[in-house]
A and B are shown apart, each in its own frame.
Chain A
Amino acid sequence: MKEILYDGNRKLSELITQEPELVHILQRVGIPLGFGDLSIAQVCQRQGLNSDFFLLLCNIYTHDRYVPDIQRIMSIPMDQLVPYLRRSHDYYVSKRLPHIQSHLHHIAEQLNQRAATVFLRFFELYKREVVEHFAHEEQNVYPHVEALQKGIADTSYSIATFIDSHGDLEDKLSDLVQIIFKYLPEQVISDDAVDVVHDILQLSNDLNKHSVIEEKVLVPYVKHLEEVVVS
């Protein structure tokens, strides 16, 4: 798999053109647009960001089968990992979910009152679950990671109990897509429905990548730190 991975000599603009969904990562690691024809390494250096860390995210985001080994993970500075994950959460909660919700309100206006109430409540409950899940990570998992990174033998939490409970949340997003595709009354203007389906699928894909980064990087990294720091 190694030969297809991206390296720092490529132009960042080329990488984004080839894999447009990586544009989300830029914003979360603080790379502003307008980077001209600079290479990935040059842009990262200018922003004070470790380019290996940036490339690790890009590679995992794009290549489903790529699993970095622990030596690779430990050779890369991980101080930006938790900030990256926090910024992703913030983006989902403050940008994407409200955006989708406003679309759904538009659709609900075209449903009868009873159906509209249940339809909107479904998303409201989903959103609440997502927010709770993120809050759990931010209050328990991330402080634990940050403590270990400072060399503090924090035992208040163990990554062994980290549960990837995104599964249920993914089911709900997929249900929403099914409902909108198949079961909305015919009088609902399909432009709205198609737009929101597109947005939901995009969010679903992004959330999936987010949990892949947790599985492939965060969990093995913290497990290793726990062994080294706590013992």
Chain B
Amino acid sequence: MKTRVLIAEPSEVIVAGLVAILSDVTRFKVLEPVTDLTSLEERIVASRPDVIIANPTMVESAAAVRGNRPIGVIALVYQYVERLKLKRFDAVIDIRESKAAIVETIIETTQAQPEQSNPSANNYELSKRETAVLVLVAKGLTNKEIADQLNVSPHTVMSHRKNIVNKTGIKSVAGLTVYAMLNNLIDESTLI
């Protein structure tokens, strides 16, 4: 199941930039962006996003946008915004961040939300911990090195790896590296 991403932002330039970097991330489905506050609620009902990336000057807080729906709301920052206000959002994306960092923030935000009404469909999504293990596997680390870095036992690493193979269907380290790359979990400079 793809993560449905709704961008709520008045600036066309910012919207275009964000759409460009998110649309080649296979796990995301980027929905038609909203440029004004008045149509936001209507669009949320119609397009059922999992996560909304909103300009904090357009909306008051995550709770105000979300209501009681399981939607993550991320503040999109490219100008000065009061820190206190940013705290009312589930996460913050600064447009000067790298693509990988932006993608990671979105993934983390969706995983922090309560399970959707169809939990079985989400079982193939990697958990946050599995994603962390996958990244280290893709970088060429051994189980022992991964265990040390994540401060868990090698046995735990093995069980994460087993889940990763089961969920993705990809068995080889080289294949997992391609997967991580296509999902923007790593960038080429981190490869050995």
Q: Which residues of A contact B188 (CB under 8 A)?
A: 114, 117-118
Interface status of A195 (Cβ within 8 A of chain B)? no
Q: Which residues of B contact A174 (CB under 8 A)?
A: 169, 171
Interface status of B182 (Cβ within 8 A of chain A)? yes
Interface status of B175 (Cβ within 8 A of chain A)? yes
Q: How far is the CA of A183 from the CA of B125 in the complex (A)?
A: 12
**Are B182 and A119 within 8 A (Cβ)?**
yes
Interface status of A36 (Cβ within 8 A of chain B)? no
**Candidates A125, A172, A175, A183; contact of B182 at CB < 8 Å:** A183
Within 8 A of B (CB), among A106-159: 111-112, 114-115, 117-119, 122, 125-126
CB B54 to nearest CB in A, in angstroms, measures 24
Q: Which residues of A contact B168 (CB under 8 A)?
A: 178, 182-183
Q: Considering the complex, give the chain B residue whose CB is closest to the CB of A114.
A: B188
Q: How far is the CA of A187 from the CA of B51 in the complex (A)?
A: 22
**Are B191 and A118 within 8 A (Cβ)?**
yes
Q: Which residues of B contact A114 (CB under 8 A)?
A: 181, 187-188
Q: Which residues of A contact B171 (CB under 8 A)?
A: 171, 174-175
Q: Which residues of A contact B169 (CB under 8 A)?
A: 174-175, 178, 182
Interface status of B11 (Cβ within 8 A of chain A)? no
**Are A118 and B178 within 8 A (Cβ)?**
yes
CB B161 to nearest CB in A, in angstroms, measures 14
Q: How far is the CA of A171 from the CA of B23 in the complex (A)?
A: 29
Interface status of B120 (Cβ within 8 A of chain A)? no
CB A41 to nearest CB in B, in angstroms, measures 44
**Are A176 and B26 within 8 A (Cβ)?**
no
Q: Which residues of B contact A171 (CB under 8 A)?
A: 171-172, 175
**Are A179 and B182 within 8 A (Cβ)?**
yes
**Are A178 and B182 within 8 A (Cβ)?**
no
Q: Which residues of A contact B24 (CB under 8 A)?
A: 111-112, 115, 185, 187
Within 8 A of A (CB), among B139-185: 168-172, 174-175, 177-179, 181-183
Could you say which of A111, A114, A125, A168 has the most chain B C-beta atoms within 10 Å of its C-beta?
A114
Interface status of A186 (Cβ within 8 A of chain B)? yes
Q: Which residues of A contact B187 (CB under 8 A)?
A: 114
Q: Considering the complex, give the chain A residue whose CB is closest to the CB of B138.
A: A118
Q: How far is the CA of A111 from the CA of B24 in the complex (A)?
A: 8
**Are B170 and A122 within 8 A (Cβ)?**
no
Q: How far is the CA of A184 from the CA of B182 in the complex (A)?
A: 7
Which 3 pairs from chain A and chain B are nearest by CB? A175-B175, A178-B169, A118-B181
13 A-B pairs whose Cβ atoms sit less than 8 Å apart in the complex = A112-B24, A114-B181, A114-B187, A118-B177, A118-B182, A122-B174, A125-B174, A174-B171, A175-B170, A175-B175, A175-B178, A178-B168, A187-B23
> A168-B172, A175-B170, A183-B183 known; 18 other A-B pairs, CB under 8 Å?
A114-B187, A115-B24, A118-B181, A119-B178, A125-B174, A126-B174, A171-B175, A172-B172, A175-B169, A176-B175, A178-B169, A178-B170, A179-B175, A182-B26, A182-B168, A183-B178, A183-B179, A185-B26
> Using a CB–CB distance below 8 Å, which chain A residues touch chain B?
111-112, 114-115, 117-119, 122, 125-126, 168, 171-172, 174-176, 178-179, 182-187
